[in-house]
Amino acid sequence: MKSLSKLSFETFLPFLSWLPLVSRNTLRDDFMAGLTGAVIVLPQGVAFATIAGLPPQYGLYTAMVTPIVAALFGSSRHLISGPTTAISIVIFSSVSHHASPGTPEFITLALTMTFLAGVYQLAFGLARLGVLVNFVSHTVVMGFTAGAAILIATSQLKHVLGIPIPRGESFAHTWADMFRMIGETNLAILGIASVTLLTAIAAKRLLPKLPHLLIGLVAGSVVAAVIGGADRGVSFVAQIPAQLPPLSKPEFSVGAIRSLAPEAFAIALLGLIEAVSIARSVAAKSHQRINANQEFIGQGLSNIVGSFFSSYAGSGSFTRSGINYQAGAKTPMAAIFAAVLLMVAVLLIAPLTGYLPEAAMGGVILLVAYGLIDFHHIRDTLSRSSSESMILLVTFFATLFLELEFAIYLGVLLSLVLYLARTSRPDIITLAPDRQDERGRFTNVYSKPVVECPQLKIIRIDRAIYFGSVNYIQSRLDAISEREGIVHILIDASRMNYIDLAGLDMLAAENLRLKARGGGLYLCGLKSSVWQFLAERRYVRTIGADAFYNHKSQAIAAIFRKLDRGVCANCRRRIFLECASLAEPR
């Protein structure tokens, strides 16, 4: 009873499972990792909020609230949640249809969308739908992220070049305006952005342990101050208020929920894919098992709670999670330390953000966007798989030229379609005993030219028999009986994990058809779960108990007695042990 109570508590309060691991040594390691994370997220939070069309402080608020809730209610010990580039740009794209970026209405709708996305994610987790992430191809995420990176870079051109490009224009129109107004480039602004970008790149290569983005921002701010940026048309980021995340209230009107719900679903889906993928990637190194359902719950609660504390939608960050693990984090306390230390940093240095040029921020965001593109895996995908390449390219171009949420749906739909297409044509292997093998083991007749019985066909169906594959399997069974004239067919079901009702009906129909021709359909090696399913649907009674066998040898011995002895008498193949009882053919 005590163990059951503990299990219940740890299910709803998962932090109880890792709290016993906390010690003086782990707290020291987690604090140092948290300090590193706080320094890294400081410039990132400001940059991501800018991408989302929100005031800079909202990115920092998100980095303060969501990591704590996600760490307490998730399953990963190293995942760091907070603002991310992909979700930031989806927030901007979605909410900008309803309000002007930066306005109070825009902020309220962004918080409402965050709340709705969190509700979706929490519902998925409570419904134990974590397995759904397995059906979303990583290629979709790659294509979307690469497209989002180009959109992010495009949105910063006006800040980097000082060109007055109207806000909210499409990808194609923005580039058209840039080429048309390229002569109006402000060299002072371009110089600040270039110094920021080059300094950050140099710091990353020469001083990899230091926060290169922060170093780049400082360098850009110094250049702006030296050249008198205010007099040269340089714009500065609004000063961040020195306060902790204030309370906020999403809008719960029916109209707002109805208009934002479809786009919030896309954000929820993208956030879950990011978080679980990153958690599993880090867990592969730390040898930890990830509970996808618990991650769904953690991400959902973090966004729901965050929407009431001025935080917009967040998810797992690959950069911060990877650095958190490399910095020696031992427990989720590192994420909590990072959030608390960020609060302290904001209270101390918030007034200094008024000296940060928008051009420097643009340079940093360009570097962030470049880092999003996984060039290695994109090249590998394009060179190895035509189907995955199609998913990648369709998702990529849809991200550039269509609505972002539609691009996500389209990529996921393509992944599912290709998955169903693959499973609809399961591998059907023809088997026969190898007479050269001492144990007489069965082998694939296409990999080794072994002799087959002219009256009994033995096949192995790999994967499931379900509504999507029944037509393909039925056509193969028809071909065996019609073209080869074989009416006894034995199915090796040892690699078959599932049969649905459509599959049962197809097998029953094929059995009746073969019986009408003097043969039958037989199954052997069924897994216990499949056997139980057949028994519960009374399929065993329908097809007959004599059609089911535990092993191929048992099945062959029984089917052998049903074969045409006239054919057997003139057969010289004699591949089964039972054939030895027959007289030699003349």
Per-residue pLDDT of 455-492, as tens digits, reads: 999 999 988 899 999 999 999 999 999 999 999 999 99
Q: What is the mean pLDDT of residues 398-407?
A: 81
Confidence of residue 168 (pLDDT cuts 50, 70, 90): low
Compare 463 and 106 and report the one with higher pLDDT. Answer: 106
Q: How far apart are CA 145 and CA 150, in angstroms?
A: 9
Average pLDDT of every residue of the chain: 87
Inform me whether the pLDDT recorded for 198 exceeds 90: yes
Average pLDDT value for residue range 364-391: 85
Give the mean model confidence (pLDDT) for residues 168-193.
Answer: 86
Position 310 scores a pLDDT of 96
To which residue do tokens 């300090």 refer? 35
Q: Which of 34-48, 73-87, 443-457, 482-496 has the lowest mean pLDDT?
A: 34-48
Q: How far apart are CA 180 and CA 184, in angstroms?
A: 9
pLDDT at residue 426 tops 60 = yes
| Cβ–Cβ < 8 Å for 18, 331 | yes
Residue 6 pLDDT > 50 = no
- The structural domains of the chain, ordered by start, are 25-420 (no CATH), 428-581 (3.30.750.24)
Q: By the 8 A CB rule, do 491 and 459 touch?
A: yes
Higher pLDDT, 127 or 415: 127
Give the predicted TM-score (pTM) of the model.
0.72
Burial group, residue 118, by CB count within 10 angstroms (0-12, 13-18, 19+): buried
Among 119, 145, 155, 107, which residue's Cα sits nearest to residue 312? 107
Q: Where does the pLDDT of residue 11 fall: very low under 50, low under 70, confident under 90, or very high at 90 and above?
A: low
Is the distance from CB of 315 to CB of 276 less than 8 angstroms? Answer: no
Task: Provide mean pLDDT across the span 129-146.
Answer: 78
Q: Is the pLDDT confidence value at 5 over 60?
A: no
Condensed to tens digits (0 to 9), the pLDDT of residues 530-568 reads 888 888 877 777 777 788 999 998 999 999 999 998 889
Q: C-alpha distances in angstroms, 67 versus 86, 115, 196, 402, 497?
A: 17, 16, 28, 31, 39
Per cent of the chain over pLDDT 70 is 97
Strands 428-433 and 442-444 come out as: antiparallel
- Nearest CA-CA partner of 310 in 34, 49, 35: 49
Task: Report residue 41 CA to chain centroid gap.
Answer: 23
pLDDT (average), residues 23-30: 91
Q: What is the pLDDT of residue 230?
A: 80
Worst-scoring range by mean pLDDT, 134-138, 173-177, 179-183, 227-231?
A: 134-138
Mean pLDDT over 238-259 rounds to 90
Residue type, position 195, single letter: V
pLDDT value, residue 8? 52
Q: Greater confidence, 338 or 173?
A: 338
Looking at per-residue confidence, does 251 or 353 come out higher?
251
Residue 177 has pLDDT above 70, yes or no: yes
pLDDT for the residue numbered 9: 58
How are beta strands 520-524 and 488-492 bridged, if at all? Answer: parallel
Q: Given a cut of 50, is residue 3 above it in pLDDT?
A: no
